[in-house]
């Protein structure tokens, strides 16, 4: 999703800004641009496509340009196509801005600006911010007043950085419900939408509050509150940071991150095992053990991990769990009770819908827990209690190791709650914890070593234009995640279906070139799901069965059977997810797609 960088210092700002934009690339974007204080005023260079296009344009059209101050942006299109004109920065009169977020009332604001003679170049909501600031600045000549007034006009979420042509070497910024940080480093001062953009220069940053205005030069960073009074902000010192460490010899981040799954599981869980037993902060386990219901709220892959978590809490701790899609929950919450507990799961910790749901729950005075992979992120900071997954930086847009780490953490957390509640014995909890932290990573290693076979299977199935994943219970939850993984990077239409539900309509779509991937674990529903696989086989679908044991029945039904041996059937899904991550990876690669940066997707979804 969109990224912002601003720089003031003695170094070449072109280099610094492009460097910062590259550090934000992982968020996903489809155009980029910069505005600089050049010799004869603000120079804006922007282009659709990759950041390299800006480099090329700067070299071809503005060779030798030097500036010590500027702003930059990576845009993930929301309002208006991803083309050159809609790219940021947007300029109006003396003002140049970059914007993250969405301005909900931009149409009426645009009309009002047009009535005052403003001619807009782009289709974006963001350009209206530049126009408003410039109108007020032209009227008053007062930067602070024009920024404050503009904020008062805007409805929606925004982080904005702005240059004023006659305030050379200054960058101004403000935010509302959208991340923005400032950082002072030995080489200059920075503004950014994300600490990742500056983490290689510093371990501390400032976090302006909603409504604050930031003024930055090479010499200082000042903060002003909504009334215009200068204020002090204490720096956040990042002691426990996820550092980007490159591809480490792997051809893609996604492959590297899949190979990090065993370490991610171990690192995440070992902090919570003490003397062989699941161990958490007492308040946390007491709150969970006393829950009438647990709500798990998240988006995408994090939500799919949450669904596995539901099965663990219900089975071991006997606590009912509802899993909720954050974008729905925030507007259509169920009836909530005082002793309900809320777990928000997020890799980035910045997902707008998840953060908004968290705020809504907190506003009702209810107890919130964040399961987050990014230290100091918004969701981590705002929840009553945070537990970190230790997956490390995840750069590929398709989430992989974070999912395994989230599900593993929920497993050990459910055991912690169960011990507190007395629904499992210490002996059982210790045995399961051992399987999780020692045996599960080994089982994952076995899958990682089987790449050639998984690649061959992906080649067999990748010609499909459409594909179904079926399963029951937790197998279905894994089917949902596996289907999401395959569709987001291979662009094959995929659907996950509860195996027993397919025949109630959707089976009409089954035909010879629509493969069905059937996931089966444990004993309870084995024969039922095999029957469902037989139903699609009878309609000439190709069937790949991924299961925890081989049986004659499976061999007779499926075209291919892939067996995953796992230390415990409850851990099968965390383990088997790695098969599907590799399956998706090789399918996408076989089709020639950019697996790390799939089309239309963003790593950190900071708009609703």
Strand partners of residue 323: 296
3-state secondary structure of 478: helix
How far, in Å, CA of 340 to CA of 292, rounded? 5
* Choice from 196, 299, 589, 595 touching ligand M6R (CB under 6 A): 299
- Contact positions with ligand M6R (CB under 6 A) in 330-359: 346-348, 351, 354
How far, in Å, CA of 285 to CA of 305, rounded? 20
Residue 301 binds ligand M6R (CB under 6 A): yes
Q: Which is nearer to ligand M6R, 132 or 303 (CB)?
A: 303
- Contact positions with ligand M6R (CB under 6 A) in 541-560: none
Count of alpha carbons within 13 angstroms of residue 441, beta-carbon side: 18
How far, in Å, CA of 401 to CA of 393, rounded? 10
3-state secondary structure of 458: helix
Residue 606 binds ligand M6R (CB under 6 A): no
Least Cβ distance, residue 377 to ligand M6R (angstroms): 9
Q: What is the CA radius of gyration of the chain?
A: 26
Least Cβ distance, residue 73 to ligand M6R (angstroms): 20
How far, in Å, CA of 260 to CA of 444, rounded? 10
- Contact positions with ligand M6R (CB under 6 A) in 83-102: none
Contact 357, 344 (CB under 8 A): yes
- Contact positions with ligand M6R (CB under 6 A) in 448-487: 484
3-state secondary structure of 67: coil
Q: Which is nearer to ligand M6R, 499 or 605 (CB)?
A: 605
Least Cβ distance, residue 347 to ligand M6R (angstroms): 3
Q: Which is nearer to ligand M6R, 1 or 430 (CB)?
A: 1
Least Cβ distance, residue 298 to ligand M6R (angstroms): 6
3-state secondary structure of 237: strand
Closest Cα partner for 598 from 4, 27, 19?
27
Q: Which is nearer to ligand M6R, 285 or 399 (CB)?
A: 399
Q: Which is nearer to ligand M6R, 350 or 535 (CB)?
A: 350
Specify the stretch interacting with ligand M6R by CB under 6 A; choose among 48-56, 156-164, 298-306, 362-370: 298-306
- Contact positions with ligand M6R (CB under 6 A) in 391-410: 397-399
In the complex, residue closest to ligand M6R by CB: 300
Q: Which is nearer to ligand M6R, 355 or 440 (CB)?
A: 355
Q: Which is nearer to ligand M6R, 195 or 223 (CB)?
A: 195
Specify the stretch interacting with ligand M6R by CB under 6 A; choose among 300-308, 334-342, 444-452, 510-518: 300-308
Residue 581 binds ligand M6R (CB under 6 A): no
Residue 300 binds ligand M6R (CB under 6 A): yes
Q: Which is nearer to ligand M6R, 361 or 514 (CB)?
A: 361
3-state secondary structure of 302: helix
How far, in Å, CA of 114 to CA of 131, rounded? 9
- Residue 243 gets the label, from left (phi > 0), alpha (psi -120 to 50) or beta, of beta
2 tagged catalytic = yes
State residue 221 phi and psi, 5-degree precision.
-125, 120
603 tagged catalytic = yes
- Contact positions with ligand M6R (CB under 6 A) in 210-269: none
- Size of interface with ligand M6R, in residues (CB under 6 A): 17
- Residue 80 gets the label, from left (phi > 0), alpha (psi -120 to 50) or beta, of left
Least Cβ distance, residue 402 to ligand M6R (angstroms): 6
Catalytic residue among 401, 485, 542, 603: 603
Which residues 6+ apart lie within 8 Å of 261 measured at CB?
400, 401, 404, 441, 444, 448, 578, 581
E runs forming strands in 2-57: 3-8, 31-38, 41-48
Least Cβ distance, residue 175 to ligand M6R (angstroms): 19
Contact 440, 408 (CB under 8 A): yes
3-state secondary structure of 549: coil
Residues that bind ligand M6R (CB under 6 A): 299-302, 346-348, 351, 354, 397-399, 484, 488, 601, 604-605
Question: Which active-site residues does the annotation give?
Answer: 2, 603
């Amino acid at each position: 999703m969109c990224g912002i960088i601003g720089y003031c210092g003695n170094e070449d700002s072109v280099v610094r800004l492009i460097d910062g934009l590259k550090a934000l690339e992982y968020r996903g974007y489809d155009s980029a641009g910069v505005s600089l204080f050049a010799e004869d005023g603000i120079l804006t260079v922007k282009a659709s496509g990759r950041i390299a296009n800006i480099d090329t344009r700067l070299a071809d059209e503005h060779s030798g340009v030097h500036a010590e101050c500027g702003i930059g942006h990576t845009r993930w299109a929301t309002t208006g196509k991803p083309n050159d004109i809609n790219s940021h920065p947007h300029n109006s009169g003396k003002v140049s801005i970059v914007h993250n977020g969405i301005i909900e009332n931009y149409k009426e604001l645009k009309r009002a600006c047009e009535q005052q003679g403003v001619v807009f170049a782009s289709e974006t909501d963001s350009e209206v911010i530049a126009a408003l600031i410039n109108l007020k600045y032209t009227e008053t000549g007062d930067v602070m007043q024009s920024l404050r007034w503009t904020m008062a006009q805007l409805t929606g979420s925004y982080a904005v950085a702005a240059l004023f042509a006659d305030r050379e070497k200054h960058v101004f910024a403000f935010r509302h419900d959208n991340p923005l940080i400032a950082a002072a480093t030995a080489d200059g001062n920075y503004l950014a939408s994300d600490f990742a953009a500056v983490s290689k220069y510093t371990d501390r940053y400032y976090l302006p509050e909603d409504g604050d205005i930031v003024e930055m030069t090479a010499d200082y960073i000042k903060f002003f509150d909504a009334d215009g009074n200068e204020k002090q902000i204490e720096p956040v010192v990042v002691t426990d940071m996820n550092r980007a460490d490159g591809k480490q010899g792997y051809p893609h981040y996604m492959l590297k991150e899949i190979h990090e799954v065993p370490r991610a599981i171990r690192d995440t869980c070992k902090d919570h095992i003490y003397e062989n037993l699941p161990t958490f902060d007492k308040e946390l386990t007491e709150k969970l053990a006393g829950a009438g219901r647990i709500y798990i709220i998240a988006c995408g892959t994090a939500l799919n991990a949450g669904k596995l978590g539901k099965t663990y809490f219900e089975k071991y701790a006997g606590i009912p769990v509802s899993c909720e899609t954050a974008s729905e929950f925030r507007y259509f919450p169920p009836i909530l009770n005082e002793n309900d507990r809320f777990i928000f799961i997020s890799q980035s910790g910045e997902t707008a819908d998840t953060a908004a749901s968290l705020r809504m729950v907190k506003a009702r005075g209810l107890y919130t827990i964040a399961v987050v992979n990014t230290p100091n992120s918004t969701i981590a900071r705002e929840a009553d209690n945070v537990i970190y997954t230790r997956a490390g930086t995840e750069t590929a847009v398709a989430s992989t190791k974070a999912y395994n780490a989230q599900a593993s953490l929920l497993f050990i957390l459910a055991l912690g709650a169960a011990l507190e509640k007395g629904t499992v014995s210490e002996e059982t909890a210790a045995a399961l914890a051992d399987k999780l932290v020692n045996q599960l990573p080994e089982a994952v290693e076995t899958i990682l070593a089987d790449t050639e076979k998984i690649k061959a299977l992906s080649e067999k199935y990748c010609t499909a234009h459409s594909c179904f994943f079926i399963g029951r219970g937790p197998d279905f939850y894994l089917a949902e995640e596996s289907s999401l993984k395959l569709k987001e990077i291979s662009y094959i239409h995929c659907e996950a279906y509860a195996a027993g539900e397919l025949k109630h309509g959707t089976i009409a779509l089954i035909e010879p070139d629509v493969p069905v991937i059937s996931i089966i674990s444990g004993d309870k529903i084995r024969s039922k799901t095999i029957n469902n696989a037989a139903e699609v086989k009878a309609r000439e679908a190709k069937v790949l069965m991924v299961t925890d044991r081989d049986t004659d029945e499976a061999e007779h039904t499926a075209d291919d059977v892939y067996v995953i041996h796992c230390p415990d059937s409850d851990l099968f899904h965390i383990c088997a997810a790695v098969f599907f991550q590799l399956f998706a990876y090789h399918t996408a690669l076989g089709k020639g797609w950019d697996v790390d940066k799939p089309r239309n997707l963003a790593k950190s979804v900071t708009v609703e």
